[in-house]
Amino acid sequence: MTALWVVVPAHQEEARIGDTLRALAAQHDRDFTLLVVDNGSTDRTGAQVLAFAEQAPFPVRLLVEPEKGVGCAVDTGFRHAIDHGAALLARTDADCLPEPGWTAAARAGMLAGGGLVCGKVTARHDEHGPAGRAAFRVLVALGALFGRIRPAHRRRHGYLTPYRMHAGNNMAITADLYLASGGMPRRPSPTDRAFINRVRRISTAIVHRPDMVVQNSTRRIRAYGLRGTARWYLNRGAGHRPVDVR
């Protein structure tokens, strides 16, 4: 079977990464290598990964990336995976819960389309409650709408395909397309829009898989509020909050 690697960037996630690791262990398709990229954590994030590796149903590797920024961690992880034989790449985050069919849907999407697969994100059921989950759905819908209507995203600017909402914590891409695109921008979050636009400039192979589902943390909404979260995703920073809550 074509080699699939799952890459998980992590920073100070000792309280949450255990849930993510258990969700990955519960996948229907477990024929993959898991690579956790520790982005300079000072807590027990790495120790938890190593403990999980002792009884994991798939190979687990831990890599340390000292350069700050989720984009740095993801790019280092993807390139490490490719250098070690990965042909297919999937990514989620260390505060997210991939649903059991996630890796199977990611693999199927990449093999069928030969490019980038965008999945569906929902709010975690164990955080925030119905109101928070509803607010999250509104933010996702607004983000998708903004991306579609933003003048800078129009195809006359050199893009080969219309803009599509792309969540970095639920994505999959072939190794060939990742390298051809130039990779993930090596910077702090948010990186999602910049990355999909790199792909849009060289390929039309971008598909959406509604069965590729990740439950996303709503803690940024609690920390930033709706307005602050919207500012963050619009690349306007987090107001007076200097550090991403992830």
Query: Pick the residue with more confidence: 74 or 191?
Result: 74
What pairing do the DSSP bridges indicate for beta strands 4-10 and 33-38?
parallel
Measured at the CA of 22, the angle between CA 54 and CA 53, to 5 degrees, comes to: 15
Cis peptide bond N-terminal to 190, omega within 30: yes
Q: What is the pLDDT of residues 86-111, one digit of tens each?
A: 999 999 999 999 999 999 999 999 99
Per-residue confidence (pLDDT) for residue 146, from 0 to 100? 65
Residue 56 near residue 46 (C-beta atoms within 8 A):
no
For the chain, which residues make up each domain, given as ranges? 4-233
In three-state secondary structure terms, 32 is coil
Give Cα separations from 65 to 42, 58, 74, 78, 103 (angstroms).
12, 22, 9, 12, 24
34 has pLDDT over 80: yes
- Least confident range from 64-68, 109-113, 118-122, 185-189: namely 185-189
For 226-242, write each residue's pLDDT tens digit.
676 666 555 555 555 54
> Looking at the domain 4-233, which fold is it?
Spore Coat Polysaccharide Biosynthesis Protein SpsA; Chain A (3.90.550)
Higher pLDDT, 104 or 126: 104
pLDDT-derived band at 143, boundaries 50, 70, 90: confident
With contact defined as beta carbons under 8 Å apart, do 246 and 93 qualify? yes
Who contacts 212 (Cβ-Cβ below 8 Å, separation ≥6)?
101, 102, 105, 106, 109, 117, 119, 120, 170, 172
Nearest to 22 by CA among 4, 10, 5, 34: 34
pLDDT in tens, 179-227: 999 999 998 877 888 899 999 999 999 999 999 999 998 776 667 676 7
Other C-beta atoms lying within 10 Å of the C-beta of residue 189: 18
What is the model's pTM?
A: 0.89
Contact 175, 82 (CB under 8 A): yes
pLDDT at 29 over 90: yes
Contacts of 51 by beta carbon, 8 Å cutoff, 6+ apart:
none
- How do beta strands 171-174 and 206-216 pair? unpaired
Tokens read off for 134 = 């509803």
